[in-house]
Chains A and B, each alone.
Chain A
């Protein structure tokens, strides 16, 4: 919502472009069968289109709206998501505009009880977290979509019905330019938490709803405080409720505050009440100068997801597949990981480089990630919005003891998002080989980056197909060269990084240390840079079978 007298797009800082409906070939009787139709041009749908385009796959992207999201909802972009944005060639404006951060503070009754410090190893390219309003996220992705010839973006185009059959999906589209049917081989439902595709198919998400409700308000003010996550338990400005404050670009600050039990949501959402409560909270943090109200909304935590993210030739990505609590910044970030995970698999299948069986791994991998998020988010949600008297008492006891004692302080840790490890995936068949290593990234986890002497990073050299990281002593052996040739026959896109050679010298042994590797060690990475397999000493048949599985060409 916006203040009285303002329209839904009257922002203090963001100019909303209005995108017209275009006349499309289907309206002139041209029958086109698109490889992929994506429904919903939010951050998740646009990212999916850009991932597909990276492999030369065309897509049509439809959205019922005529512009970007009306308020800033998603806010925090985690490090793994910055890597995804980099891989789709869109990261530059994000880096320029967003506010990077790695620290946070939790307060109880005005006193600091916990200092959050997210790890930032020197080998990493990006900070753990970046704050950027969703409108900018969408604008920058849209700029990349517009610049891409392979993506057919259609605004003001609403899905009216969806009809799957054995070898394709037909979507009814209504738009001011006319109504038509859109035919595609595959459909990605990126149509958000209230997914019309999900309803049309009669699919229901399952899980839990939490009682606690939060108002989220964006304000503009000159306020001198670094970009950190601040959490206030029992602040005097919002007695009985927790408050979160985040800094955003353009002097915009996000204030989230929990409504008291029994408080009327309708009353709380009235502008004068928003102003009064935000004013009291600002008084608490010592801001007594003017501020302006930009936008507000209300939110309650849910952990809900579909049983299967795939429905024949239709795939659910982002909020259409799963709804997670905001605490821990997992909504946007998990959705982006969905887009990348499905994007490379579907692109390789459509290009004929991988067999269709590869698509079977999307739902188990990403649903596994969702359930992992639920486990963590449930813990943080119980702390942020204690659901019962028992949880409230336990939290009050822990927080009050935290004022003078260290031992309970970790309970206030917000458990920010960590990338998920696909350890039980069908694409990770030799996780047993992890036992040969004394450290380094396990099978299924995200490969760590390393800084090279010229200032670039190791994973800058990763390919868009499989990547083999081979540790050598000076030069690869004859057997190694033969294996790399055979891998290249399996995957024409294979990138080989030869560590300990003139290619990447690793003079100080830092990369070998990060990967717990010795000469003869091989890591095989998937296109999303998760580890598909690792071998302390190479077992060629296992390496080749893993590569084949990653292209859907072997049985799990």
Chain B
């Protein structure tokens, strides 16, 4: 896990919430998928990305 300061994480949370609204309900899945791909590429580490995918899938209902 990263050592992102909690204030930054909170800003990330708020930015994401606002961005989902900007994308609109029709395109939110597409937006979130694009976001994941952008982040995965920025991350530059396939093992970390795959682990993140597992974390996000785990417990999904």
Residue ranges of A at the interface with B (Cβ–Cβ < 8 Å)? 379, 382, 386, 388-391, 393-395, 398, 400-401, 403-408, 410-411
Residues in chain A near residue B1, CB distance under 8 A: 405-407
Residues in chain B near residue A404, CB distance under 8 A: 58-59
Residues in chain A near residue B13, CB distance under 8 A: 394, 398, 408, 411
Q: Are A401 and B6 in contact (CB under 8 A)?
A: no
| Distance from B61 Cβ to chain A, minimum over Cβ atoms (Å) | 8
Residue of B nearest to A405 (CB): B55
Residues in chain B near residue A393, CB distance under 8 A: 17, 20, 28
B37 at the interface (CB under 8 A from A): no
Residues in chain B near residue A408, CB distance under 8 A: 9, 13
Q: Are A389 and B55 in contact (CB under 8 A)?
A: no
Residues in chain A near residue B58, CB distance under 8 A: 404
Residues in chain B near residue A390, CB distance under 8 A: 16-22, 28
Q: Are B9 and A389 in contact (CB under 8 A)?
A: no
Q: Roughly how many angstroms separate A390 CA and B60 CA in the complex, as a whole number?
A: 18
- 6 A-B pairs with C-beta separation under 8 A: A379-B14, A382-B14, A388-B21, A390-B19, A394-B17, A400-B59
Contact residues of B between 33 and 61, Cβ < 8 Å to A: 55-56, 58-61
Residue ranges of B at the interface with A (Cβ–Cβ < 8 Å)? 1, 4, 6, 9-10, 13-14, 16-22, 25, 28, 55-56, 58-61
Q: Are A411 and B10 in contact (CB under 8 A)?
A: yes
Q: Roughly how many angstroms separate A59 CA and B40 CA in the complex, as a whole number?
A: 67
Q: Are B55 and A401 in contact (CB under 8 A)?
A: yes
Residues in chain B near residue A403, CB distance under 8 A: 59
Q: Roughly how many angstroms separate A222 CA and B60 CA in the complex, as a whole number?
A: 37
Q: Are B16 and A394 in contact (CB under 8 A)?
A: yes
Given contacts A400-B61, A411-B10, 11 further A-B contacts (CB under 8 A): A389-B21, A389-B28, A390-B18, A390-B19, A390-B21, A391-B21, A394-B13, A400-B60, A407-B1, A407-B4, A410-B6
7 smallest CB-CB distances across A and B, nearest first, come from A390-B20, A390-B21, A394-B17, A391-B17, A390-B17, A410-B6, A388-B21
Residue of A nearest to B7 (CB): A410
Question: Contacts A398-B13, A411-B13: A389 and B20 contacting too (C-beta < 8 A)?
Answer: yes
Q: Roughly how many angstroms separate A389 CA and B18 CA in the complex, as a whole number?
A: 9
| Distance from B34 Cβ to chain A, minimum over Cβ atoms (Å) | 15
Q: Roughly how many angstroms separate A128 CA and B21 CA in the complex, as a whole number?
A: 37
Residue of A nearest to B18 (CB): A390
Q: Roughly how many angstroms separate A403 CA and B10 CA in the complex, as a whole number?
A: 18
Q: Roughly how many angstroms separate A406 CA and B9 CA in the complex, as a whole number?
A: 12
Q: Are A410 and B21 in contact (CB under 8 A)?
A: no
Q: Are A379 and B10 in contact (CB under 8 A)?
A: yes
Residue of A nearest to B21 (CB): A390
Residue of B nearest to A383 (CB): B13
Residue of A nearest to B56 (CB): A401
| Distance from B39 Cβ to chain A, minimum over Cβ atoms (Å) | 14
Residues in chain B near residue A405, CB distance under 8 A: 1, 55
| Distance from A549 Cβ to chain B, minimum over Cβ atoms (Å) | 33
Q: Roughly how many angstroms separate A408 CA and B2 CA in the complex, as a whole number?
A: 12
Residue of B nearest to A388 (CB): B21
Q: Roughly how many angstroms separate A410 CA and B10 CA in the complex, as a whole number?
A: 9
| Distance from B14 Cβ to chain A, minimum over Cβ atoms (Å) | 8
| Distance from B60 Cβ to chain A, minimum over Cβ atoms (Å) | 8
Residues in chain A near residue B20, CB distance under 8 A: 389-390, 393-394
Q: Are B25 and A410 in contact (CB under 8 A)?
A: no
Q: Roughly how many angstroms separate A495 CA and B60 CA in the complex, as a whole number?
A: 62
Residue of B nearest to A406 (CB): B1
Q: Roughly how many angstroms separate A31 CA and B21 CA in the complex, as a whole number?
A: 63
Residues in chain B near residue A407, CB distance under 8 A: 1, 4, 9
Residues in chain B near residue A398, CB distance under 8 A: 13
Residues in chain A near residue B10, CB distance under 8 A: 379, 410-411
Residue of A nearest to B60 (CB): A400
Q: Roughly how many angstroms separate A407 CA and B52 CA in the complex, as a whole number?
A: 13
Residues in chain B near residue A400, CB distance under 8 A: 59-61
Q: Roughly how many angstroms separate A398 CA and B55 CA in the complex, as a whole number?
A: 12
Residues in chain B near residue A382, CB distance under 8 A: 14, 17
| Distance from B4 Cβ to chain A, minimum over Cβ atoms (Å) | 8
Q: Are B17 and A410 in contact (CB under 8 A)?
A: no
Q: Are A389 and B25 in contact (CB under 8 A)?
A: yes
Q: Roughly how many angstroms separate A411 CA and B25 CA in the complex, as a whole number?
A: 24
Residues in chain B near residue A395, CB distance under 8 A: 17
Residues in chain A near residue B25, CB distance under 8 A: 389
Residue of B nearest to A109 (CB): B61
